[in-house]
Structure 1
Amino acid sequence: MNKPILKMTNIVKEFPGVKALDGVNLELYEGSVMAIMGENGAGKSTLMKILSGVYKKDGGEIYYKGKLEDIKGPKDAQEKGIAIIHQELNLIHDLTIGENIFLGREPKGAFGKINWTKLHEDADKFLKKLNVKSSSKELLGSLSIGQQQMVEIAKALSLNAQIIIMDEPTDALTDKETESLFKVIKELKNEGKSIVYISHRLKEIFEICESITVIRDGKYVGYEKIENIDEDKMIEMMVGRKLTDQFPKIKADKKDITLEVKNLKNEYVNDISFNVAGGEIVGIAGLMGAGRTELAKTIYGYFKKQSGEVYVKGNKVENKSAKDGLKNGIAYVSEDRKGDGLILGLSVKENMSISSLDKVSSVFKVNKQKELNEVKSYIKKMNIKTPSENQIIKNLSGGNQQKVAIAKALMTNPDVLILDEPTRGVDVGAKKEIYDLINELKKEGKAIIMISSEMPEILGMSDRILVLSEGKLTGEFDRQEASQEIILKSAVSTKEA
């Protein structure tokens, strides 16, 4: 058996009002991939930020290559051979891909001048290794979120680290990009590198990891080799109970048509028509680039329509901006909660109420008590784990941030709720809570559109499923007739339904 390269024992970390880690242990072996598992807020990212020098531990010991170490900061961690690929992208849009990969570590030539030729040649080698077609001379801002994630991975590889921490690395990747990453992970293992892997996608864990360490509520639960565990046991260790009925499908009385879209067209979508009734969940499926998000953003006014009509409760609405969409009863929860959905420097309360201040105001003044009561009721209703409503939202876990993003939409009291990738980056326990909430909204008679790249989620939660391909509607199926094969066939089709 390979020898351990890293041991973290009894790690403690406290923040104001919360003990994030309380006696956590971790052991990582050379040339292996170990997953850290736990619900959102369990302390996985906090533990990795301690290992990579972002946070200082408040207790415990770290042994690296058999030696007791004090990691003084991110630069110290890098110099020791520890690299992290953060869940939140740490890149600069106005620089080139190559400049981002070697930022602060640019190769120098004579008189300390940057050797741009070497920088771009070396950057291109890492991009090629990850099967990224872009040139390192392209601006980072021209790339999709998934391609930017691959640049973040290339940046970590360029450090030639002995330990590479990957925090939700496939969250925004296509299947092809994920395949390229897994190939690189296998190569890194063969080179004797060690990977710490964090992902909510259980299938990935069984595909690439040898072992798991489980954390729950900031405490160490246990370590298991992957061959000694199945999915049910893993989930039970993570959530502390058996999780049954992953997609809790409920029946609700279908009401009148709430949203009707007729012949909607612009540069993103082509002549799309459909409707959603109150008390109905309509899922929208399709491959990346099919136009799902663009359709949603056109409906609620973020993108301008060229032609077509949108009706809410029988009334024609003209949504020329997102503000118009909200005013006309349509709320949208973005797939990119950090970029579009939340303001990370503001509190939970400020984020939650920002779109509905008119509903908690009187005579041009915010009724602070009314605002507080509304926010507290959603924190309780949605089981948002936060020390208080005044906590800065960037300090919450991804799952709890997502719940705040949904609560922000619900506080506007919409007739139509559009959920774009509602469980992206969310663990199995928090997913179940979000599904239960969606069902409650369905029972209340909301018209719900759910966009998802996860086929089991679409099949498990939708009453009807629309399929898009290249901006066109290529399929519409009732839940009973839909299957993964049928949806995929429509998703690669260019013929309209």
Structure 2
Amino acid sequence: MAGSEAAQSASTASQPLLEVCDISKRFGPTIALDQVNLAAHAGRVLALIGENGAGKSTLLKTLSGAHDADSGTMRLDGLEYQPRSPLDARRLGIGIVYQELTLAPDLSIEDNIMLGRSGTGGGLLLRGSQRDQVRQCLQRVGLGHLSPTARTGDQSVATQQLIEVARALASQAKIVLLDEPTSSLPAADVQRLFGIINDLRNDGIGVIYISHFLEEVREVADDYAVLRDGNSVGSGQLTDITDDQIISLMVGRDVDDLFPSVPHDIGQARLEIAGLSAKPMPIDTDLTLHHGEVLGIAGLVGAGRSELLRCLAGLIPAKSKVATLDGNRLPSSVGARRRLGIGMLSEDRKSEGLAQSLSITENLAMGNHRRYSSYGLVDLKSRRKDANGWIKKVEVKAHSAEQTIGELSGGNQQKVAFARLLAQDADIYLLDEPTKGIDVGTKAEIYRMIGELAAQGKSVIFVSSYLPELLAVCDTIGVMNRGQLVETRASADWNEESLLAAAVAVTNR
């Protein structure tokens, strides 16, 4: 944390830059916020912490003008703050970066950054001065090499996330709201973002930062506020509270084991791949997955981890010297591999993992239509019963199984996506960042379920950018480096430093 302790104490004692008093918000029968209180100060970073569905994103949307509060008051810079719209909030000094990308992919980077705030003179668009401003914002987030006229949709997900941050900076905000901003960023860009946040702090700008990673919170934030079930349950300076205390506030109970271990035995080889190659990656990759094994895949963003899983699922055409499942030739099509028991959870739940406009029930039933239909009739009662069972098992926070996916928080959407894969009862589970956007309590439950799958003799390939969970959950870990699976060892033979070293090492290719 930047600045002296004396300066921090003085800042905390001063009038808050943004003050929230008894804010409540209801969606039908669901109480999303219940008399929430919060104070953010100039030149300080406030970590907003809570489980999925605790109300964090709803609160940010209320602050940004996307939602109207049902009751309560807000003050910004000492004045009553009641934004009529996101544009109004932006003009009043609130910048926001949402967890899910909100960019227009077909527009240029410049048009996305300046959308809603284009500089005009006498009704004419001042492209020259606008482009200079865009370049300055891109430079601040480490994207100075990009052309402002480049198409946004052609950029990587990580780059688009930084463009979102640049857009918030362009608004000259007094308060910047960041909702899980590192979820799609590699380690180097995470550190660049933390540098940007530190610059904002030094410029006297207030920052409200949502993250499920407590180590991130410790590194970047000064203060904390915890929400649970839409209620304020704790706040203060981070130096005055331990991680265990924060977790207890989040979940309302002590969490004894964040990485529960389920005993399981590793059997004979199930999936054997040699010389797997596709364009642009993976490249000449060998992989062996055993019965009852949890195989972790580490590596930097862009190293080919997701592409490897998509090849194994049949989503990307690939060639290989050997491809067998239980000793038999592995077919190439997605459908054939799925029928043989290979299921995949995509990292991109918004575009690929779920149908946002359909209900939880309909999403969970996808891919299992034969289970619920007979002679052209659908057994709606059985389908709804199963959906309610999965909602309870993975603890989805929703007012009913008929609620649409788009109405859920990002973390609860991830739970539904995971439950849908479990409902398929596969034999091989390809999990691409399955705990992305998931709170610590639910992560522990996901880890337990992965262990139970292994105990049943199922096989799991687990891609993650969060090295502690790979080391704690997996039996074996392989590292992807520039499209190749360069090294695979027992997880006990790795640590975070050696995993990173293997991920960045220069390969012989």
Tell me which interval the TM-score lies in, with the shorter structure as reference length.
Answer: over 0.9
Aligned position for 2:141: 130
Aligned position for 1:257: 269
Amino acid at match of 1:4: P
Which segments of 5 or more consecutive residues in structure 2 lack a partner in the other structure? 1-9
**Partner Cα separation in structure 2 for residue 403 and residue 444 of structure 1:** 21
**Partner Cα separation in structure 2 for residue 257 and residue 361 of structure 1:** 36
Within the candidate set 272, 286, 302, 1:289 is matched to 302
**Partner Cα separation in structure 2 for residue 150 and residue 307 of structure 1:** 36
1:384 aligned counterpart, secondary structure: coil
**Partner Cα separation in structure 2 for residue 464 and residue 445 of structure 1:** 15
Aligned position for 1:302: 315
**Partner Cα separation in structure 1 for residue 81 and residue 283 of structure 2:** 59
State the 1:455 CA deviation.
Answer: 0.9
Q: Residues 122-271 of structure 1 correspond to what in structure 2 (within 5 A)?
A: 122-132=133-143, 133-267=145-279, 268-271=281-284
1:234 aligned counterpart, secondary structure: helix
Assess if the C-alpha contact under 8 Å between 1:464 and 1:479 holds in 2.
Answer: yes
Which segments of 5 or more consecutive residues in structure 1 lack a partner in the other structure? none
- Bigger shift: 391-400 or 10-19? 391-400
State the 1:108 CA deviation.
Answer: 2.0
Say whether 1:75 aligns with 2:87. Answer: yes
Aligned position for 1:280: 293
1:441 aligned counterpart, secondary structure: helix
State the 1:470 CA deviation.
Answer: 1.3
**Partner Cα separation in structure 2 for residue 387 and residue 319 of structure 1:** 41
Deviations 1:144-195 (Å, cap 9, x if unpaired)? 1110011111111000011111111111112222222222212212221111
- Bigger shift: 226-235 or 413-422? 226-235
State the 1:495 CA deviation.
Answer: 4.5
Aligned position for 1:31: 43
Within the candidate set 413, 435, 441, 2:453 is matched to 441
2:120 aligned counterpart, secondary structure: coil
Residues matched between the structures, number: 495
Assess if the C-alpha contact under 8 Å between 1:215 and 1:238 holds in 2.
Answer: yes
Change (3 A) 1:484 1:128: same
**Partner Cα separation in structure 1 for residue 81 and residue 490 of structure 2:** 58
Amino acid at match of 2:136: K
Change (3 A) 1:255 1:365: farther
Q: Which runs of 4+ in 1 moved over 6 A?
A: none
Q: Residues 338-353 of structure 1 correspond to what in structure 2 (within 5 A)?
A: 338-353=350-365
- Bigger shift: 372-381 or 148-157? 372-381
**Partner Cα separation in structure 2 for residue 276 and residue 151 of structure 1:** 38
Assess if the C-alpha contact under 8 Å between 1:4 and 1:30 holds in 2.
Answer: yes
Amino acid at match of 1:185: I
- Bigger shift: 203-212 or 487-496? 487-496
Say whether 1:86 aligns with 2:98. Answer: yes
Assess if the C-alpha contact under 8 Å between 1:32 and 1:195 holds in 2.
Answer: yes
Say whether 1:316 aligns with 2:365. Answer: no
Assess if the C-alpha contact under 8 Å between 1:7 and 1:27 holds in 2.
Answer: yes
Change (3 A) 1:357 1:381: same
Say whether 1:118 aligns with 2:123. Answer: no
Superposition TM-score, scaled by structure 1 size: 0.96
Aligned position for 2:7: none
Say whether 1:389 aligns with 2:377. Answer: no
Within the candidate set 372, 382, 407, 2:419 is matched to 407
Amino acid at match of 1:415: D
**Partner Cα separation in structure 2 for residue 319 and residue 16 of structure 1:** 47
Say whether 1:104 aligns with 2:116. Answer: yes
**Partner Cα separation in structure 2 for residue 239 and residue 148 of structure 1:** 32
Assess if the C-alpha contact under 8 Å between 2:262 and 2:451 holds in 1.
Answer: yes
**Partner Cα separation in structure 2 for residue 495 and residue 102 of structure 1:** 41
Assess if the C-alpha contact under 8 Å between 2:295 and 2:477 holds in 1.
Answer: yes
Within the candidate set 345, 365, 381, 1:333 is matched to 345
State the 1:69 CA deviation.
Answer: 2.9
**Partner Cα separation in structure 1 for residue 336 and residue 410 of structure 2:** 29
2:125 aligned counterpart, secondary structure: coil
State the 1:380 CA deviation.
Answer: 2.1
- Alignment RMSD, CA only? 1.7
**Partner Cα separation in structure 2 for residue 398 and residue 70 of structure 1:** 26
Assess if the C-alpha contact under 8 Å between 2:273 and 2:320 holds in 1.
Answer: no
Amino acid at match of 1:280: E
Aligned position for 1:450: 462
Identity %: 38
Assess if the C-alpha contact under 8 Å between 1:285 and 1:466 holds in 2.
Answer: yes
Deviations 1:257-290 (Å, cap 9, x if unpaired)? 3322232112211222222222210111112221
Aligned position for 2:25: 13
- Bigger shift: 38-47 or 101-110? 101-110
Amino acid at match of 2:327: G
Deviations 1:325-347 (Å, cap 9, x if unpaired)? 32231111011111221121111
Aligned position for 2:5: none
Assess if the C-alpha contact under 8 Å between 1:120 and 1:137 holds in 2.
Answer: no
**Partner Cα separation in structure 1 for residue 420 and residue 263 of structure 2:** 26
2:329 aligned counterpart, secondary structure: strand
Change (3 A) 1:313 1:374: farther
Amino acid at match of 2:293: E
**Partner Cα separation in structure 2 for residue 418 and residue 114 of structure 1:** 49
1:90 aligned counterpart, secondary structure: coil
1:78 aligned counterpart, secondary structure: helix
**Partner Cα separation in structure 2 for residue 319 and residue 327 of structure 1:** 12
Assess if the C-alpha contact under 8 Å between 2:248 and 2:255 holds in 1.
Answer: yes
- Bigger shift: 237-246 or 304-313? 304-313
Amino acid at match of 2:417: A
Assess if the C-alpha contact under 8 Å between 1:20 and 1:43 holds in 2.
Answer: yes
Q: Residues 55-74 of structure 1 correspond to what in structure 2 (within 5 A)?
A: 55-74=67-86
Deviations 1:440-477 (Å, cap 9, x if unpaired)? 21222211110111111111001111112111121111
Assess if the C-alpha contact under 8 Å between 1:52 and 1:84 holds in 2.
Answer: yes
Assess if the C-alpha contact under 8 Å between 1:107 and 1:115 holds in 2.
Answer: yes
Deviations 1:409-445 (Å, cap 9, x if unpaired)? 1222211101111111111111111111111212222
Assess if the C-alpha contact under 8 Å between 1:472 and 1:494 holds in 2.
Answer: no
Amino acid at match of 1:394: G
Aligned position for 1:376: 388
